[in-house]
Structure 1
């Protein structure tokens, strides 16, 4: 067991959760799933806590599931998703994972949003020998230092998204940087990666202020004032959700962003731009999803189908949900079985088409090459959007294979 789960649950709680399903062996789960007319897979996420992203995400995987079953299902059987809410709590994530494995007898699990719940599910997968396909958790630990053969990840990691922004950050030639982020695994790793990668490219850079706020509880006024007092030339931001909106509002009011270069992870996603309306930031360098401006055959087909089904435009979560269930189905088809070892072999090197183009699950670290769009924010028709954007494949923003091998355990 790794320190993440130990620290959150304690040895005794995890032991009780795991023992509760001990009579249902891994082989029984697989054979039961295979024998039925339906193949069950489990899905776990923080729907109540993170509804802005996960509402569209659920619609995305539901649309993908409907398409899969309309086309004959998987291996001649109907694919069924049994979904559970983890209350944004790693302990609850472990509990419902065991329920899905032992009671529902799912063949594999997918999902996850927050990095801490994702790490807990990754360790659970390792302990119970069940495949976990992480949809959203961005922590680098999931595929590197805490990686294991049972865990795969779809979305570009924290390292990958930061690396997408570094070329533009270097071009700004700004020396004094301030940093603001949520004080948990995702935010901490985002800032450490940004400092490392920028320092490698620009050795004279200085980091003059660092504000870490509890997730969902930012004191935007004091944070903004502390950053302003440091007189930075540029700001790196990893806030999202309501914390981001509060920070932007205070920053606009106090003039924090005037004449400063701002680089921000995830801010270009409509989930976070839309709630800000005309108050959305202008000129920030961001990763995101400019849904209305992408003109490729694969994205146009996805967007048209999504709008026809739900009567609304897709969000970033919609694409993630759609792609993750398509990945699940592709892995099961390639495996030709619900046997865990065969699913693992199928996911390693698996390639498939997505609304963003083709991706592959890398054999080096089980990370997919799913990418993101990089551009700048603007306000058009009273709403935030992205302009001057381009797509960056996840394959382009990876450490060397030797570096990955040095970070990843051999399990």
Structure 2
């Protein structure tokens, strides 16, 4: 093993073959996870994510596999299209005979796969999709979600935003499920904390196709004291560049989902605006045994530093294996029963799938943007436990269909 991590030691002890070699595992059969993601649609996140799950699979098989069998991930690219994701899921279930489905990046694709899982009665572990609908309004018994949701990250950011003197707020977000959901929940949570807030306008550029000049001009005309940003990837780079050149961010507070993640802050380089309040992943300043072990193994295998996608991919497999081990089977109903209330390890420490809504309690880092040695970094970052930023069981019961 490349790491001395506790979860791998526990995994090795729990499997029937102990430290069996991969060749011996292959003779005992395979457990297959069908993984679907937008590899060609957003490689900045999905390529590190792929490396993360590949590392986890390698470590698991070296430690003895799962239930004495070799773990195999069969991966497909959905091209950023829900229909292609469903087609891929159909092939994985009917032809490849996978034991569970996992993955997805975009929220609308995650919702399509969740509905597929419900129709086919197949266990689905959503890694990245952040829309709240996937565990609440459109939640179903077959779908579990790993990453901290829009609600959770909005609650973390609203906690900080409420301390700002700003009263007039504008929003910029991609015009699809994720952006719409993030804006709605942030406005709800911040307004509850600060009834004096006035929402003066919104901009909804198409995802991946922002025309940053007119967006910046329109927001500037609203004369906000503060801005909520939900754009990411290449759209964020264009927005920042145009906003910097036109002075949009000068003397204005900005609160921004995801911007502190290396995938999105690294491309900004020395153009990174300073002082934005963000969620993210300051990989080089996280000092815990779990993260140290993950970081060491990741750098040894790939000669690169991890991105947030790397953590998500790695933790996705960690949680999937924990579910299968507890279930002692790949039967769908047994997997569901095992996952509800299950505690599992991640590079960020312990997390748990809530029984009430199948949302994991994995947290996120909240901090501020800065420029250091010509590159964008996240400073003053504090890890926020996701369990502290979720609604109560009673609130969830009003939002989620019973299943």
Length-normalised TM-score, structure 2 = 0.93
The answer to whether structure 1 residue 85 and structure 2 residue 77 are counterparts is yes
Give SS of 2:301's match.
helix
Query: Residue 196 of structure 2 aligns with which residue?
Result: 204
Q: Shift of the alpha carbon at 1:67? A: 0.4
Distance 1:150 1:35, change over 3 A: farther
Pick one of 254, 276, 284 that aligns with 2:246.
254
Q: Shift of the alpha carbon at 1:35? A: 11
Query: Residue 386 of structure 1 aligns with which residue?
Result: 378
The 1-side partners of 2:100 and 2:246 are apart by: 49
The answer to whether structure 1 residue 272 and structure 2 residue 241 are counterparts is no
Query: Residue 329 of structure 1 aligns with which residue?
Result: 321
Residue correspondence of structure 1 range 72-111 to structure 2 within 5 A: 72-111=64-103
Distance 1:180 1:407, change over 3 A: same
The 2-side partners of 1:161 and 1:281 are apart by: 20
Q: 1:41-78 CA distances to partner (integer Å, 9 max, x unpaired)? A: 10000000110000000000000000000000000000
Distance 1:171 1:79, change over 3 A: same
Residue correspondence of structure 1 range 306-325 to structure 2 within 5 A: 306-325=298-317
> How many residue pairs align between the two structures?
378
RMSD of aligned alpha carbons: 1.1
The 2-side partners of 1:285 and 1:118 are apart by: 27
Query: Residue 285 of structure 1 aligns with which residue?
Result: 277
The 2-side partners of 1:410 and 1:295 are apart by: 40
The 1-side partners of 2:253 and 2:155 are apart by: 17
Q: Which consecutive residues of structure 2, in runs of 5 or more, have no partner in the other structure?
A: 1-25
Quick check: 2:319–2:345 contact (8 Å CA) kept in 1? no
Pick one of 119, 122, 125 that aligns with 1:127.
119
The 2-side partners of 1:299 and 1:118 are apart by: 27
The answer to whether structure 1 residue 221 and structure 2 residue 213 are counterparts is yes
Q: Shift of the alpha carbon at 1:37? A: 0.7
Quick check: 2:28–2:70 contact (8 Å CA) kept in 1? no
Query: Residue 232 of structure 2 aligns with which residue?
Result: 240
Query: Residue 147 of structure 1 aligns with which residue?
Result: 139
Query: Residue 59 of structure 2 aligns with which residue?
Result: 67
Pick one of 24, 27, 38 that aligns with 1:46.
38
Pick one of 387, 390, 399 that aligns with 1:398.
390
The 2-side partners of 1:257 and 1:339 are apart by: 53
Quick check: 2:28–2:68 contact (8 Å CA) kept in 1? no
Length-normalised TM-score, structure 1 = 0.91
Give SS of 2:309's match.
helix
Quick check: 2:139–2:357 contact (8 Å CA) kept in 1? yes
Q: Shift of the alpha carbon at 1:136? A: 0.1
The 2-side partners of 1:354 and 1:108 are apart by: 20
Give SS of 1:172's match.
coil
Query: Residue 11 of structure 1 aligns with which residue?
Result: none
Give SS of 1:267's match.
strand
Query: Residue 113 of structure 1 aligns with which residue?
Result: 105
Q: Shift of the alpha carbon at 1:36? A: 6.5
Q: Which consecutive residues of structure 1, in runs of 5 or more, have no partner in the other structure?
A: 1-33
The 2-side partners of 1:167 and 1:146 are apart by: 27
Q: Which runs of 4+ in 1 moved over 4 A?
A: none
Q: 1:200-219 CA distances to partner (integer Å, 9 max, x unpaired)? A: 11112111120001000111
Give SS of 2:365's match.
strand
Quick check: 2:225–2:253 contact (8 Å CA) kept in 1? yes
Q: 1:138-193 CA distances to partner (integer Å, 9 max, x unpaired)? A: 00000000000000000000111010011111100211001000000000011111
Q: Shift of the alpha carbon at 1:123? A: 0.3
The answer to whether structure 1 residue 231 and structure 2 residue 223 are counterparts is yes
